[in-house]
Amino acid sequence: MSTTTTTTAGDDNKWIGKRTVRPDGADKVTGRAAYAADTNMPGMIWGKVLRSPHPHARIKSINTAKAEAHPGVKAVVTAKDVVDFPIAKSVMLGIQDMRWMCRNVMAREKALFVGHPVAAVAATSEKIAAEACKLIEVEYEVLPFVIDVEEAMKPDAPVLHDHITFEGKPSNIAGKLEHKLGDVGEGFAKADVIIERSFRTQPVHQGYIEPHACLVSVSDGKATIWSSSQGQFMVRAMCAYLTGIPQNDIRAIPAEIGGGFGGKTIVYLEPVATLLAKKSGRPVKMAMTRTEVFHASGPTSGSYSKVKLGATKDGKIVAGEGTYCLQAGALPGSPIRGAAGCAFAPYDIPNVHSVGYDVVSNRSKVAAYRAPGAPIGAYAVECVMDELAEALKMDPLQLRLKNAAKQGTKAAHGPTFPRIGFVETIEEAIAHPHYKTPLAKPKNGVLHGRGVASGFWFNAGGESSAQVNVNEDGTVVVITGHPDIGGSRASTANIVAEVLGIDYRKVSVLIGDTSVIGFSNLTGGSRVTYASAMVVTQSTENVIGQLKARAAKIWKIDPEAVIWENGEARPAGDNAGKFEPMTLGQLAAQANATGGPIGAGTQLNTTGAEGGFATHVCDVEVDPELGIVRVLRYTSFQDVGRAIHPGYVEGQMQGGAAQGIGWALSEEYIYDKNGKLDNPSFLDYRMPVTSDLPMLDTVIIEVPNPKHPQGVRGVGEVPLVPPLAAVSNAIHNALGQRFYSLPMSPPKVLAALESKTAKAA
C-alpha cells in the first residue's frame, strides 16, 4: 500500500510543499549527530541519583557524611541545595508550577513515588558515584500509598499532600476544570437515543529512544548546560529558578534530540547537575538509564472517564457530557485541559458539559505527551460515537459528518471556529479506497473488523525568534530557537528558499542556544513550524527589503522602484530605468560597499494557530483463540493547513498512529503490590515494533489557515488523538464485543471472549 497525498494548495511553489533532503539526515544515519550524552569535557565527573525505594514515605533525615567521605566523591546534593518554593505560593513557568518542579527534581518533605530522587552524588566515575549513593543514609517513615486514580479519589485513600483539599476536605483531587455550553439537561431531554459508558486507560510513556542526559559546567558562577530537551529556554529558566543562578549567567545549549513527544518539556537532571557542578567545581555529566526513565520521568496520565451522548432519531447530537479523572502522578498537573477540552470539540453539539479532575497518586509525575489529554478525551467520546451510530443504524462516518464542527461552530472550550478542515477529513475518508474495500471474510477462525474515529487538538502559537543572515557568498544562515523534533529545520529552509527565491541548498538552518538567539518558547503544542514560519518569513521579507534598497543604491533609483523576483532584484518597470537584474550573490558581494552586512531578526508572540482535526480508519484482524489483535490497514486523514514539507508531515501522521496503536493494544505501566513499577524496560513495556504495524497510510488535506502566511496549522499532535478509539471500534466490528479499558492486550481480549462464551452458554 502506498502513501498518498492530496494537495489542494501551493502547486506553484518551488520549495514549499516539496520533499527536500533533511538537513540532519546524514549525521543521524552515520552516527555523527551529537546527542546530549555525546559531549565530554576535560576534568568531567559523573553524577548519579539516589532514588526512593518507597512509593510514599516521609523523609525524616538524610545523612550524606559517609558518601562525602568516600574516595572519589566530589559533591553531594539534597533538597537543601535546591531553591525551595513554598507550598503557599504558586510560581508558574508555562504550564509548570515551580512548587512542584522543585519537589519533583528532588524530594523535599516526602518521597512520593518509587524512583523519586532524594539525593545526588558526583564522583570521578559512574561506579564510585553509584557506590556513594548507597552510603547515603535516609531515614524514612513509610506511609500507606495509592497508585490508581479511582482508588486515590476514594474518601479513605492515603492523602499525598496535606495542603490539598477538595470541597473542604483533605484530598488527592488537586484541581477541577469545567467547560459548559448550553444546558445538557434540556439537551438530553430532546434525545431519542442516549448512550453512557465508562472507560479506563493506563499511563503510557512517550518512549523516546534517547534517555535524559546532560553535561553541565559551572565556572566563575556561570553555568553552561548541554542537554537534550524540547526547549533550551525552558532549561535555562527552570535551572535559574531551581539553582538561584540568574538567567544571564546560564547558557543552555540544545543537543540534537533523540525524541521527546512532550516528555522533554521539563527538566529532571539539569538543575541537579548544575548544583553538583557548582559544588564540585568540575563539569558534571548525568545520564538516566532506561529503567530510570521509566521509573521517574513522565508518562502521560492513566484515566477513568465517563461519557454520555444523546441524539435525535435523525442522528443530530443534542447533548454531550463527560467526566475525566486523570492521574497527575505524585504532583499536580495532569492534562485535564486537553481531555475535557478536546473531547467534544470535533462536533457541533449545542449542549456540552465536560469536567476534568486532576488527581495525584504515588507514581511518577506525568509530563506532556503528544496532544496531552486529548487522546484520553477522544477515546471515550469516539467509542460512544460508534455505539451511537450502531444504535441509530447510521454509518459511523456519516454520523460524524452530520455533526461535524465547521466555520462558525461554537466549541465548548471557548472558541468559535474559523475556517477549519474537519469536514474534509471525513469526506476524504468516506471517498477513500480503504473505506470502500470490503473486509476479508473470516479465515481459520481469524476475524476482521474496521473502525473509525476522529480527533481534535488545540495547536499553539506563542513566542518565537529568528535571525536570517545573508553570507558574503550569497548563501543564507537562519537561526531559530527551537529544538527540531519533527522536521522544523527542513521546513524553515523550504520557507526561506521560497520567499527569497533561491535554491534550498543555499539555506542552512541552525538551532541557536540561549545566548545567540532571542527567547523562543518550547517545541510543543504543534507550534514550531507554525511560529517559526511567521518569524522566519518576517525576517526574510525584511532581508528582501534591505536587498532591494541595496540594489536601488547601486542603480541610484528609488527603493520603491525595485522588485524582488526569483532571487533577483529587478527594476519594477521600464520607468524605473534599465538595469540588469542583480542576484542575491551579487548583492551580498557588494554588501559592505552598500551599507554593511545584510540580515534581520524577528521576535513575535504568535497568535492565530487554529485547531487541527483528523479522522482515522483502521482495519484489524483478531485471533480469538489467542486474543491477539493485529492492525492490517490504517489510514489517517488530516487537515494540516499547508504541508511545508510533506515527508515530515506524513512522518508525524504515521508516528502518531503508531504510538496510538501501542497505547490501544499493548502499552501500560504495571505496578507490583509494593507500589513499584514492574515493567521498566522496552522488553516488558510493549511499544509496537516495526513488524507489528502495516504501512501506515496518510492523506494530507490542505485547508489553509487564513491567519498564517503559508496557511500552516499544527501537525504533530492530532495524529495521536483518534487511534485509541479507531482500534477499539475496529475490534468491536470484528468480534461484536466492546472493550472499555486499555490496553486491549491478549489476556484481556481472551478473558472477555471467554466470559462472553460463558454467558451465551
Partner 1 sequence: MTDIQYLAPRTLDEAVQAFAASSGKGRILAGGTDLLVQMRAGTVTPHTIIDIKKIGEMTAIEETAGGGFRVGAGVSGAILREHPKLKKVWPGVVEAANLIGSTQIQGRATAGGNLCNGSPAGDSVPAMVAAGAIVTIQGPKGRRELPVEAVPKGPGRLNLEPGEIVVSFTLPARPKGSSDAYLRMIPRTEMDIAVVGCGVSLTLEKGVCTAARVGLGAVAPTVLLVEGAAKALIGSKLDEAALDKAANACRAACRPIDDKRGTIAYRTQIAGVLLKRTAAIAAERAGRN
Strands in 628-639's sheet, in edge-to-edge order, are: 447-457, 612-623, 628-639, 696-701
C-alpha angle 45-48-54 in degrees, rounded to nearest 5:
170
Give least dist CB 296 to partner 1, A: 17
Q: Which residue has the cell 481534535?
A: 456
Residue choice 258, 627, 641, 714 for contact with partner 1 (CB under 8 A)? 627
The one among 178, 625, 695, 706 contacting partner 1 by CB under 8 A = 625
Task: Give whichever of 175 and 743 is closer to partner 1, judged by the CB atom.
Answer: 743
Distances (CA, A) of 101 to 179, 232, 359: 27, 17, 17
Q: Which three cell numbers stand for residue 381?
A: 467520546
CA atoms within 13 A on the CB side of 531: 27
Residue 203 binds partner 1 (CB under 8 A): no
Query: Binding string, 440-479, against partner 1, x = CB under 8 A?
Result: ----------------------------------------
675 touches partner 1 (CB under 8 A): no
Nearest distance, CB of residue 686 and partner 1, angstroms: 6
Report the nearest approach of partner 1 to the CB of residue 690 (Å): 8
Of the candidates 141, 560, 717, 754, the residue annotated as catalytic is 717
Residue 34 found at the interface with partner 1 (CB under 8 A):
no
Distance CA 665, CA 687 (A): 9
The answer to whether residue 31 forms part of the interface with partner 1 (CB under 8 A) is: no
Question: Which of 281, 287, 282, 284 lies closest to 273, judged by CA?
Answer: 284
Taking CB under 8 A as the criterion, the residue among 689, 706, 736, 757 binding partner 1 is: 689
The minimum distance between CB 133 and partner 1, in angstroms, equals 13
- The CA distance from 654 to 659, in Å, is 9
Cα–Cα distance for residue pair 477/479, rounded to 1 Å: 7
Report the nearest approach of partner 1 to the CB of residue 120 (Å).
19
- Tell me the closest approach of the beta carbon of residue 626 to partner 1, in angstroms: 6
Concatenated DSSP letters for 125-165?
SHHHHHHHHHT-EEEEEE-----SHHHHTSTTSPPS-TT-E
Binding window for partner 1 (CB under 8 A); candidates: 71-79, 469-477, 503-511, 745-753? 745-753
Q: Looking at 180, 670, 695, 757, which residue binds partner 1 (CB under 8 A)?
A: 670
Residue among 667 and 702 whose Cβ is closer to partner 1: 667
Does 175 participate in binding partner 1 (rule CB under 8 A)? no
Strands (E), 9-166: 45-51, 57-63, 73-77, 92-93, 96-97, 110-111, 117-123, 137-142, 165-166
**Contact mark string toward partner 1, 74..113, x via CB under 8 A:** ----------------------------------------
Q: Return the number of the residue (516 or 626) whose C-beta is nearest partner 1.
A: 626
Does position 508 interact with partner 1 (CB under 8 A)? The reply is no
Element of type H or E holding 732: helix 723-735
Does 632 contact partner 1 by CB under 8 A? no
Residue among 459, 521, 659, 745 that touches partner 1 (CB under 8 A): 745
Secondary structure letter of residue 474 according to DSSP: S
Using CB under 8 A, which of the segments 386-394, 532-540, 584-592, 683-691 binds partner 1?
683-691
Q: Is residue 754 within the footprint of partner 1 (CB under 8 A)?
A: yes
What track of x and - describes contact with partner 1 for positions 127 through 166 (by CB under 8 A)?
A: x---------------------------------------
Stretch that binds partner 1, among 54-62, 261-269, 545-553, 748-756 (CB under 8 A): 748-756
Distance in Å, CB of 737 to partner 1, minimum: 17
What phi and psi values does residue 464 have, to the nearest 5 degrees?
-145, 150
Asked if residue 217 binds partner 1 (CB under 8 A), the reply is: no
> Is residue 653 within 8 Å of 6, Cβ to Cβ?
no
Extract the C-alpha cell encoding 113: 513515588
Sequence-distant contacts of 388-393: CB under 8 A, at least 24 apart: 388/193, 388/195, 388/309, 388/311, 388/317, 391/193, 391/195, 392/193, 392/311, 392/313, 392/315
What is the CB-side half-sphere exposure of residue 36 using CA atoms within 13 A? 30
Q: Does 306 bind partner 1 (CB under 8 A)?
A: no
Which of residues 139 and 684 has its CB atom nearest to partner 1 in the complex? 684
Q: 568 has which bridge partners?
A: 565, 583
- Residues binding partner 1: number (CB under 8 A): 23
C-beta closer to partner 1: residue 510 or 628: 628
Indicate whether 553 belongs to the interface with partner 1 (CB under 8 A). Answer: no
**Within 13 Å and on the Cβ side, how many CA atoms surround 372?**
25
DSSP helix/strand/coil, 446:
strand
Q: Is 115 in the site for partner 1 (CB under 8 A)?
A: no
* Interface with partner 1 (CB under 8 A), residue from 9, 95, 628, 632: 628
| Residue 193, C-alpha cell as written in the block | 437515543
Q: Is 183 in the site for partner 1 (CB under 8 A)?
A: no
- The reply on whether position 750 binds partner 1 by CB under 8 A is yes
Would you say 620 and 692 are in contact if contact means Cβ atoms under 8 Å apart? no
Nearer Cβ to partner 1, position 472 or 684?
Answer: 684
Rounded distance, CA 728 to CA 473, Å? Answer: 57
Least distance from partner 1 to the Cβ atom of residue 694, Å: 11
427 part of the active site? no
Q: How many CA atoms lie within 13 A of 481 on its CB side?
A: 29
Of 111-119, 224-232, 266-274, 679-687: span binding partner 1 (CB under 8 A): 679-687
- CA gap 18, 649 in Å, rounded: 11
Q: List residues with catalytic annotation.
A: 717
Summarize as ranges the residues that interact with partner 1 (CB under 8 A).
127, 625-628, 630, 666, 670, 678-679, 683-684, 686, 688-689, 691-692, 745-747, 750-751, 754
